[in-house]
Amino acid sequence: MKTFRIRRIDDESLPVNRAAVRRAQEVLRSHFPSVPEAEIERLGEKLRSPFQQRFRSILFTAETSRGRGAGFALLYHDPVAGFCFLDYLSSEKGFAARRAERELYRRARQEAAALKAQALFLECLPDDPSLCPDRAALRRNRAALRFFESFGARPIINTRYGAPRDPPGGATPYLVADDLGRRNALNLDFARRAVRAILKRQAAHRFPAERIAATVESFADDPVRLRPYRYGPAAARRAALPFPAPAVLVASDRERPDPRRRRGTAADALSVLLSGPNGRRLFRRHPAQAFPEKHLSAVHTPELIAHVRRAGREVARGEAPVPSVFPVAGIERLPEDYPARTGCFCPDTLTPMRRGIYRAARSAVDAALTAARALAEGEKAAYALVRPPGHHAGRARCGGGCYFNNAAAAGHYLSAFGKVAILDLEGSHGNGLQEIFYGRADVLTVSLHRDPRRAYPFFSGFEEERGEGAGEGFNLNLPLPARADGGSRRRALERGLRAILDFKPGFLIVGLPGAGTAGEERERGALIAELGVPVLAIQEGGRDGRKIGKNARRFFAGLLSRPDASLFSRSFERRGEDRLAFRYEVRTEDRVRIREIVEATGVFNPAEIEMAVELADSRLAQGPASGYHFVFADRREATIGYSCYGPISGTVGSFDLYWIAVHPDAQGKGWGRDILKETERRIRGLGGTRIYIDTSNRPHYAETRAFYEAGGYRLAALLDDFYAKGDAKTIYCKVL
C-alpha cells in the first residue's frame, strides 16, 4: 500500500513550496478546465497575502515517499464567520476515493478543527438522476458523495442551494456540511452567514446578487438539516479526526558510547521514544544523511575541524587526553605534541578527546542538518537526537563536552530560507551558540540558563550581552536565580517567546534539556507550539538515555497537541525594557505626535487625519466630559502609538474604539496588541462590556481587519456601499 506525506503550504518562501504550488496549478488546469486562468495564477498570491480577501487560503499537498506529487487540497478559512470551505480536492490521476484524497481530506478536517471552525463546507455535484442525466457524470458524483459521507459529511437539504438554474445551465452543486465529528447541529444564523460568504466569493462568475439573497433566505430550518445517510449505515460513519502529523526523528548513528556500557545514550533514548503506540504517533524515523564539510566550516574554523579530525584518528584506544596548559595570548605556533596543543582548542578539562570522536561529532552535525533539511522541505516538526551535544562549541574552540555546534550548523543552514530563532533550554548557557551568531541579525539567540556567576561556563551568559554590530539586540540571555521554581522558569520562557514572536522567524530551533518534570516539559512544548513556527528540537543536555527519551516524548506531546497555531494566538508577557509605559491624559504636545503617527501609517486620508487631531483637541478642552478617552504608549520616552475610545450614547456598557494606530517604525513588534489589550482593560474598568470598531472593507484595510480578528473581534454587521460604491462598512464587536 502506498503511503503519502501530507504537507501544509503556507507561503512560497521555500523552493519546495513554490514547486508544490506549480504542481497544484497544473492539476487545476488539467482537471478543472472551467476555472479561469487568472484564478489559477492567483493561487500563490492568496498564500502570500492571506487577508487580501475575506478568506485565508491553505494549500495541502500529498507526496509519495520519493517526493512525487500525488494530489492537493485547497482549503479556505473565514475567521470572521468561523467556518472552513474546501474548494478543491484532487489527485494527479483524477478524483476518486483513493488513499491520497482520503489522507488530504483527513488533513483538511484536522486543520478545520484546529482553527476552531464550526463546520467544514464543500460543494459536490448532484447524485440525483433528475439533476444529472449524464450517466458517466452521475457515477462520478455518486462516488464523490459516497466518499464524503464516509466522514459524516452530507448535503444540506430543504434549501435552494443546488436548485436548477433558470434558464438551465447544467447541474448545480449541493452544499455539503461536515460537522468535524462533533455531532453538533448547525444553527440557522451560522449557516446563513457561511452561505452568504461562500456565494459572495463566487459571485463574480457564478451567482448574481439577487440569487445570493434568495439562496440565503431559503435556509429556514433551525438547526439546518442534512440529508439522511444514503451510502451506508450511519453507525459506521463519522471518521475520527487524525492525530497530528508526527515529527521527523533523526538520530546520530555514530555515537561514541561509554566503553563501560553495552549501548549508547541515544540508543537508550530511542527505545523509550518509539515504544508503544504513542511513540509511533509522535515520531517518524528518518535516516541521517551525509552533508559536505562546507556546512561545518560555515560555523567553525578550519583549524578546529582539523584538530578534532586528527584527535579521532591519532588518539590511542582507551585514552582520553584533556588539556593541561591553556594559552592566554594570541596563538602564533601550535606545539607539535598533540596532547600539548589541546589547550589551544579547548578552555576546560571537561571535553576529552577520544579515538573516533570526529566521526561521532560529524554524525551529530549530519543528523541535525538532516532534520533541518526536513523543515526546509516543509515539515512542521523534527527532532535531532544527537550525541555528543554541541551548544558549548564556539567558532574556534570546543568545550563543555561539545566538539561541533549542531544547532549552529542547522541554524546557519536554515538561514538561507528565512530568519531563524534559537531557544536554548538546556540549563547551562550555550556560550558557543552566542559567540557564533553574536554579530548576526538574521539569527536570534535566546537562552534560559543557570546564573553564570555560579554555573558553567561562568564567563558568559549575562543579561547585558545583547549582541554586537549588526547583531546588537539579537541575543537575549535569561539567567535564572538559584533554586528557581516553576513559576520563575515559566515567566522567563514567556519573555523569551515574546522576543521570538516579535522577531517573526521562519524557523525555530530548540535546545532540549536532558530531564525535567512531566508537566513542565509538556507545557513548554504547548507554549512553543503557539508560535506557529516550524520547530527543530536538538538534544543538548542529558546523560541518562531513558530520561532523555521520556523528556523528549513529553515535549513533543505538548508541541503536537496544538498543530498549526497562529502567530496571533498568544501575547506573552513582556518584561523590563520590553514593556510599554502607558499614560491616559492628553498633553498639548500629543497633538503633533498623533498627526505624525496617523500620517506615517499611510492608510488615512487628510480628512481622517484632521479628525484624529480634533478628538485630542476635544479632550484637552473639555476633559472627560468630551466622552473621548485615550491610551498613549511610550517606549524609551517616545510615543510609539495610541488609542482613542469612548462610551456610546444611549447604551449601557457599549464602547466605540475610534482610533488605534502605531507608528510604522514600531510596527511588527506586537505593540499594537499590547495597546489594544490595555485599552480593553481600561474600558472594563469603566464598566464596559462590549467594544465596537468600524472600518472599511476595501483590500487596503485587509491587514487592519486581520489585526482585529486576531484580537478576538467578530464581524457584527456588514453595511454594503456605506462609504462609497463597493466600499462596505465593516463593524466588529468583542464581548469583554
Give the separation between CA 521 and CA 516, rounded to whole angstroms: 6
Which residues face 124 on adjacent strands?
A: 174
Residue of 385, 382, 368 lying closest to 268 (CA atoms):
385
Q: How many CB atoms lie within 10 A of CB 359?
A: 17
- The burial of 618, by beta-carbon neighbours within 10 Å (0-12 exposed, 13-18 middle, 19 or more buried), is given as middle
**How far apart are alpha carbons 600 and 495 in whole angstroms?**
30
Q: How many angstroms separate the CA atoms of 512 and 558, rounded?
A: 14
Lookup: cell for 567: 502567530
429 labelled catalytic: no
Distance CA 712, CA 355 (A): 59
Residue 716, H or E segment: strand 714-724
**DSSP letters for 481-496:** PTT--HHHHHHHHHHH
CB burial class (10 A; 0-12, 13-18, 19+) of residue 491?
A: middle
Nearest to 557 by CA among 533, 529, 516, 515: 529
**How many Cα atoms occupy the beta-carbon half-sphere of 581 within 13 Å?**
9
Query: Given the C-alpha cell 481600561, which residue does it identify?
Result: 682
Rounded to an integer, what distance in angstroms lies between the CA atom of residue 274 and that of residue 282? Answer: 8
For 565, the grid coordinates are 497555531
- The rounded distance, in Å, linking the Cα atoms of 173 and 483 is 65
DSSP β-bridge partners for residue 711: none
> Is it true that the peptide bond before 388 is cis, omega within 30 degrees of 0?
yes
Q: In which order are the strands placed within the sheet that holds 56-63?
A: 5-9, 56-63, 69-78, 83-91, 120-124, 174-178, 154-155
Residue of 295, 391, 392, 449 marked catalytic = 392
Cα distance between residue 704 and residue 718, in whole Å: 15
Cell numbers placing 685:
474598568
CA dist list (Å): 624 to 200, 639, 645: 43, 21, 12
Which 3 state secondary structure label does DSSP give 479? strand
Cell of 381: 516538526
8 Å CB contact between 83 and 118 = yes
Question: What is the distance between the alpha carbons of residues 483 and 485, in angstroms, rounded to a whole number?
Answer: 6
> What is the distance between the alpha carbons of residues 477 and 444, in angstroms, rounded to a whole number?
11
Q: What gap in Å lies between CA 162 and CA 663, rounded to an integer?
A: 49
Catalytic positions:
392
